[in-house]
Amino acid sequence: MKTTKIFFLLVFLAGATACFSQTVDSKLLVKYDSQTLAGIKAENPDGYDFLSYFVESACYIIDMPDKPIDFIELERIDPKTGELSPNQVITEDDLDNFNPLEYNIKSELSVNSYYRAGDTGKIIVVPSHEGIQNAVENNKRISKIK
C-alpha cells in the first residue's frame, strides 16, 4: 500500500515536471533546469516574471549611433558557468533569436547599458533593472485589464 502511494506520487511529480517544462521559456532553460525554474516560480513569482521579461522583451537591438556612446563589447559566455566561450564571432544571425543569458549582458540598477555586437554595426540596449521592473509591473496591470 505504501509502495503504491509512493509510486503514484512519483508519477504525479514526473508528469507535473514534464508539463511545466513544456511551458517554461526555452531561453531560460539554457541557464536553469526545469526544477530550478519551478522553484523560482513557486517561491518568487515576481522574480520569475522578471527573468521571463528580461530574456524575451527587455533587450533591444539598434543600429550603431552616429554619436559616440559608452559601450561594452558583447561576449558570448557559457550560461551555466559564466565562462567565456571560445567562439567570440558575433553575427547578425546570432541577433535574430537573441538570448541575453548566452552573453555577458547585465542590467545595471538605474542606468541603461549598451553592448556592441561585434562587427555587425548593431548595439544591444539593456534597460536598467528599475526600467525592467517597471515594464514587468505595467505588463501585469495591462493583463489584469484584459
Q: What whole-number distance in Å separates Cα of residue 4 and Cα of residue 134? A: 48
Residue 48 clears pLDDT 60, i.e. is over it: yes
Give the rounded percent of residues in the chain with a pLDDT score beyond 70: 84
- If pLDDT is split at 50, 70 and 90, which confidence band does 144 have? confident
The 3-state DSSP class for residue 40 equals: helix
- Phi, psi (rounded to 5 degrees) for 123: -125, 135
- Joined together, the cell numbers standing for residue 5 give 502511494
- Mean pLDDT across the chain, nearest whole number? 86
d(CA 125, CA 74): 11
pLDDT at 9: 36
3 state DSSP class of 1: coil
Which carries the bigger pLDDT value, residue 20 or residue 142?
A: 142
Confidence of residue 145 (pLDDT cuts 50, 70, 90): confident
Q: Decide if pLDDT at 15 tops 80.
A: no
- C-alpha dihedral over 47, 52, 36, 16, to 10 degrees? 110
Which sequence spans correspond to the domains of the chain? 2-145
Task: Using CB atoms within 10 Å of the CB of residue 117, give its burial: 0 to 12 exposed, 13 to 18 middle, 19+ buried.
Answer: buried
What single DSSP character describes residue 83? P
Q: What is the pLDDT of residues 62-107, one digit of tens each?
A: 999 999 999 999 999 999 999 999 989 999 999 998 999 999 999 9
Mean pLDDT of 100-129: 96
More confident residue, 4 or 63: 63
Give the pLDDT band (50/70/90) at residue 24: low
